[in-house]
Structure 1
Amino acid sequence: MHGPLGEVTETDPAAVAAFIGNQGTGHKVPHRLACRVLGVSESWSYKWRDKPTAARQVRRGQLADAIRQVFEDSGGTYGSPKVWLVLVREGWRVSVNTVARLMAELGLAGRKIRRRRGLTRPGKRPAAPDFVRRDFTADAPDQVWCGDMTESTTSEGKLYLATVIDLFSRRLLGYAMGERHDADLVVASLHMAAATRGGDVSGVIFHNDRGSEGGFN
C-alpha cells in the first residue's frame, strides 16, 4: 500500500480507511476522489476511519498477554507504573497510560503488600524507669539489650515473634515465636538470650517499649 492512490493490496477495512485518510494529509488528494478511485463510499470510509486495524488488534492482544504475564510474575502486586517499567525494559514501546487502561480492562489491580506491624501497646501498670533515656547505643557488649514484638500473617494464621538484640553489636541474642503476644513470649526470648551469653547476665539493662507484653524496661 502506497500513495498517492498507488497500489492497495490491504483487505483490512480499517487499514483501507486509514490509507484514504493518509492520501489527504500526506498527498493532498481530496477525500471524495480517493474514495471513488478505490471504489468505496465516503460514509464507508468514515465508518472505518477510527476502527483499529487488524495489525493493531494483534499487537494489542500481544501487549495484553505481556501485561498479564508481568502482573502474575509480580504475585499480583505490581500496579501500572511498575508493569510499564518492566515492559519498557523488555523492549515494548508503549505509554504508561495505555498500560493502565489495558490493566483496568483486564481487571488487574496491584495489591499492597501487608507489612509486619509492631505490637507494642501501652500497659495498664505504671511503666518502669527508662534507663536508656532513648539512647539506643552501647559502649560494650551486654550493657543494653533491646526487645521487640512483631506480628506475621502466615497461611496458618497469625504468629508473634519476640526478639532480643544487643545494642552494641546489634546481634540477635534470643527469640521466641507463638500464637499469643504476651509476657510469656518476651520472657522466653530473654531466657534464650541469657543462655546465648552463658547464663550470667547480671548488670544488663533490658529495654522494652512501654507495652503490656513486657511490663518492664
Structure 2
Amino acid sequence: MATVLDLHTREVAGHAMAEHMRAGLVCDAIDLAAGRGLITPEAIFHSDRGSQPEYTATTFRATLKAVRVRPSMGRGGSCFDNAVAESFFATLKTEIGTTVWATRSEASRAVFAYLNYYNHDRLHSTLGCRYRQQQEHALAA
C-alpha cells in the first residue's frame, strides 16, 4: 500500500494497493490525490530513503512533475524523516487488526473502509482531538 498524507489535515489524500512495490504504486496514489483536487501546486512530497527504490524512480519523478509537486527526500539513516507515515501505518495495523483475509479484494475493501473512517470520523491528536471536518470549519471561521 502506498499513501499520500496531508500533514495539515492528517487526511489520506491518495492511496493505492497492489501486489507489487514498484514506482507505479506510488504514482497511482499521487494521481488519486491530484485527481481528487487534494494537491495544490508547489506542494511538497516528502519520502525517506528507505529500502524501496520507487521513490527515486524516473516515473515517480515524472508523476510529481506532472502534478507540479516538489520532491523532498530525507537523509539516509534518519528515523524521523518519515515519522508521520510510519505512525499512520502503525495506527492502521493497530486499529484494523492483523486479520488474514481470504482474498485481496476483501482486504482492499476493509482497508478502504478504514481509510474512510480515518479521514472522516477518527479523532487526531495533532488536530486537537477534533475530527478533520471540524478542523476545516475552524480554519474557515
The TM-score range, normalised by the shorter chain, is 0.3 to 0.5
TM-score by length of 1: 0.24
Task: Specify which structure has the bigger relative contact order, considering alpha-carbon pairs within 8 angstroms and separated by 6 or more residues.
Answer: 2
The structure carrying a bigger helix percent of its residues is: 2
TM-score by length of 2: 0.37
Q: Which has the larger radius of gyration?
A: 1
